[in-house]
Structure 1
Amino acid sequence: MKISIIGGGITGLSTALALHKVGIQAKVYERAETLNEIGAGIWLQPNAVQILQWLGILDDIIQEGHQLNKMEITNPDLTPIKKIDEVVVSDVYGNQTIAIHRGKLQRILFEKCAELELVELGMPYQHHQSADGKTTVYFKDHSIETDVVLGADGIHSLVRKAMGLPSEYRKTGQICSRGIANVTLPDHLKYEGKEMWGKQQRFGFSQIAPDLVYFFTVVNEEKSPSTVSRETLTSLFADFDATVTDLLNASDQIHTTELADLKRLDTWHNSNTCLIGDAAHATTPNMGQGACQGIEDAYYLSRFLKSKGTALEAFIAFEKQRRKKVDYVVNNSWNFGKLVHNQAGQLLLRGVMKITPEKVLRKQMKSLYSVEGL
């Protein structure tokens, strides 16, 4: 079986490694000529950590990243809304969140794939079509024959378009800015991820390397400045803890976008093509699970392609396995983002957080972090 993966992001590269792990050869086709360390930070939660360990690259990620012992939601002055025990944000094996530069994570995945000859750069996908039991994938300058196409080309997936599936995006009306600050946090913040809640605005941050801090802001569109810059954000978050101003002043480039997700698709697959990651179920980042769910897709799909008789049987089993959890993440992330940026909604969330017992939180996290078979 020849498998072609379209898209060399975190999901596509993880899928190639997962397939190689179970003895199935696949190749990733990425449009970029080179992979540079672009983007900001990412929080790899314990479910993703388990799979990265299974892939044999966790040590490299730990070396390049930074382990967080606590994830906490706070007021603008950094006082926690609810103090929680560290075990609430770890899985049953003690795995905790690893913060890392997104570009470094992608580089680790890419270098492992390149070492195994699983990736080809400079291959801009155009479309694909099937006839007589074979599928032809058309790139900008040439084409290839394949048996299976896996679409890992993100929220604006061209593979999804070629499959004739809808691409309806839900815009949140919230503007998100992400950046990297060249600083080291004080000791009491160095191993913690923070998200600070203000009125229709949020600021989150964590160390991702000894001298790098990842931060993000989320602001309702009507409150966002027409031109987002370090100076406008500093003004907007002037009432927050001084750490915010320090991080903004130490930042270089800031990347800004409107948060959106993908409206639920009725299916992710047809007989020889399957969507994975953001191409299938793009989510807003409010639960920090976007990339983690793409990595989970890689793990489960590789298992089903190994164990089932045909690709179609594998796709059906994969979608059945993944739907409930993915829907939970997408829907809860959407609702959480909407509530926290609404005055009454945020008051409700704060109240629920304060009265929810830790054993309930542990149960919720155990379900979110569980990976069958690991």
Structure 2
Amino acid sequence: MEISIIGGGITGLTTALALSKLGIPAKVYEQAESLNEIGAGIWLQPNAMKVLQWLGLEKEIKQAGCTLNKMEITYPDLTPIKKINKAVVSDSDGNQTIAIHRAKLQSILFDKLKETSHIELGKSYINHELVNKKIEIQFKDESISSDIVLGADGIHSKVRATMGLPSQYRNTNQICCRGIATIELPEHLQAEGKEVWGHKKRFGFSQLSDEKVYYFTVLNKNNCPSNLDQNSLIDQFKEFDPIVSQIIASSETFHETELYDLKRLPNWYNTHSCLIGDAAHATTPNMGQGACQGIEDAYYISNLLKSSEKPADAFKQFELKRRKKVEYVVNNSWNFGKMAHNPFGQLIMKTMMKITPEKVISKQMNKLYEVDGL
């Protein structure tokens, strides 16, 4: 069985590694000439870490990143809206969130994949079709044959378009900036993830290493300067704790993007093709679960392909297994982002945080962190 994975991002690379672990060869085709992730961080929550642990990558990822002992939402002065203990941000096995540079994570996955499978860069996917029970995949410079196509090519998936599935997006009308700052955090802020809430704006940050900090900002589009630069971004957060301005001032560049997600697809697969990760269920980043859900997809699709006689059966079971959870993430992330930027919605969320017992929060988070068999 020949499996072609279109897209060499986190989901595509993890899927190839998962298939390789189960003795199923796969090849990744990535349109970029080199794997260069944007200068930003990622929070690998316990569900993602369980899969990466299963792949034998936990130690290397922990060494390259920073284990976060606390995750808090705070007022602008960094006072927590609700103080929580360490157990709330861990799963039942003690797994915690790891903050890591996206480029470092991708490099770890890529280097591991080169040992066990194949990856080709500079392969710009055009389309694919079924010809005499084989899939003919057309790239810009050549065509190849395969038995299965897995579309891991992101929210703007060309594989999805070839499959005749819609590409409709929900725009949040919010602008997100992500960057890496060279700064040593005060000791009381080290090894912690913070999301700071102000009026129609948010700022999040965490340590990545001794002198590197990942940060992100979210601003309502109608309040955002047309030409955002470092100074205007600092000005947006001047009423926040001084560490916020210091972090922004310590970054050389930041990546600016408008936040949106993918409207629910009617299905993710056909007899020979299946979408995974953002190609199937792209979400806004408000729950920090986008890449984590793609990593979960890699685990489930690989195991189902291993246990199923027909690829279509594996695809059907994959969608049945994953739909409920990813839709919970997509919808809650959307609602979270909209309410956090509405004064009345934010007040409701703050009130709910304060009155919800920690054991209830812990139970909710552990359900999110569950991965069957791990």
Query: TM-score by structure 1 length?
Result: 0.99
Question: Matched residues in 1 for 2:256 and 2:143: separation?
Answer: 35
Letter in 1 for 2:186: P
Contact 2:67–2:97 (CA under 8 A) maintained in structure 1:
yes
The equivalences for 1:105-254 within 5 A come to 105-254=105-254
1:10-68 superposed Cα distances (whole Å, 9 cap, x missing partner)? 00000000000111110100111111353300000000001000001111111110000
1:86-113 superposed Cα distances (whole Å, 9 cap, x missing partner)? 1001001101000000011001101111
1:117 deviates by 3.4
Q: Does 1:286 align with 2:286?
A: yes
Contact 2:2–2:26 (CA under 8 A) maintained in structure 1:
yes
- Which stretch has the larger CA shift, 126-135 or 254-263? 126-135
SS in 2 for 1:28: strand
Where does residue 86 of structure 2 map in the other structure?
A: 86
Letter in 1 for 2:44: L
1:162 deviates by 0.5
Question: Matched residues in 2 for 1:228 and 1:99: separation?
Answer: 26
SS in 1 for 2:189: coil
Question: Matched residues in 1 for 2:283 and 2:219: separation?
Answer: 18
Letter in 1 for 2:225: P
Contact 2:25–2:117 (CA under 8 A) maintained in structure 1:
no
Question: Matched residues in 2 for 1:333 and 1:35: separation?
Answer: 28
The equivalences for 1:1-374 within 5 A come to 1-374=1-374
Contact 2:11–2:277 (CA under 8 A) maintained in structure 1:
yes
Change (3 A) 1:37 1:280: closer
1:118 deviates by 2.2
1:302-356 superposed Cα distances (whole Å, 9 cap, x missing partner)? 0100001110000000000000100000000000000000010000000010000
Letter in 1 for 2:203: F
Question: Matched residues in 1 for 2:39 and 2:148: separation?
Answer: 30
Question: Matched residues in 1 for 2:40 and 2:236: separation?
Answer: 21
Contact 2:38–2:255 (CA under 8 A) maintained in structure 1:
no
Question: Matched residues in 2 for 1:235 and 1:33: separation?
Answer: 37
Question: Matched residues in 1 for 2:249 and 2:34: separation?
Answer: 30
Identical counterparts, % of pairs:
63
Question: Which consecutive residues of structure 1, in runs of 5 or more, have no partner in the other structure?
Answer: none
SS in 2 for 1:188: helix
Question: Matched residues in 2 for 1:334 and 1:36: separation?
Answer: 28
Question: Matched residues in 2 for 1:361 and 1:338: separation?
Answer: 21
Contact 2:76–2:197 (CA under 8 A) maintained in structure 1:
yes
SS in 2 for 1:60: helix
Letter in 2 for 1:55: L
Question: Matched residues in 2 for 1:37 and 1:108: separation?
Answer: 13
SS in 2 for 1:222: helix
Question: Matched residues in 1 for 2:115 and 2:184: separation?
Answer: 33
Letter in 2 for 1:143: S
* Count of aligned pairs: 374
Question: Matched residues in 1 for 2:178 and 2:237: separation?
Answer: 14
1:210 deviates by 1.7
Question: Matched residues in 2 for 1:347 and 1:63: separation?
Answer: 39
Contact 1:37–1:107 (CA under 8 A) maintained in structure 2:
no
Question: Which consecutive residues of structure 2, in runs of 5 or more, have no partner in the other structure?
Answer: none
- Which stretch has the larger CA shift, 85-94 or 110-119? 110-119
- Which stretch has the larger CA shift, 112-121 or 125-134? 112-121
1:250-309 superposed Cα distances (whole Å, 9 cap, x missing partner)? 001111011000000010000000000000000000000000000000000001000011
Query: TM-score by structure 2 length?
Result: 0.99
- Which stretch has the larger CA shift, 117-126 or 176-185? 117-126
Question: Matched residues in 1 for 2:333 and 2:37: separation?
Answer: 27
Q: Which aligned segments of 4 or more residues in structure 1 are displaced greater than 6 angstroms?
A: none
Question: Matched residues in 2 for 1:39 and 1:12: separation?
Answer: 20
Question: Matched residues in 2 for 1:117 and 1:218: separation?
Answer: 38
- Which stretch has the larger CA shift, 282-291 or 119-128? 119-128
Question: Matched residues in 2 for 1:355 and 1:37: separation?
Answer: 40
Contact 2:127–2:137 (CA under 8 A) maintained in structure 1:
yes
1:117-160 superposed Cα distances (whole Å, 9 cap, x missing partner)? 32111111111111221100011100100000000000000000
RMSD of equivalent CA atoms: 0.7
SS in 1 for 2:187: coil
Question: Matched residues in 2 for 1:64 and 1:37: separation?
Answer: 16
Question: Matched residues in 2 for 1:280 and 1:174: separation?
Answer: 22
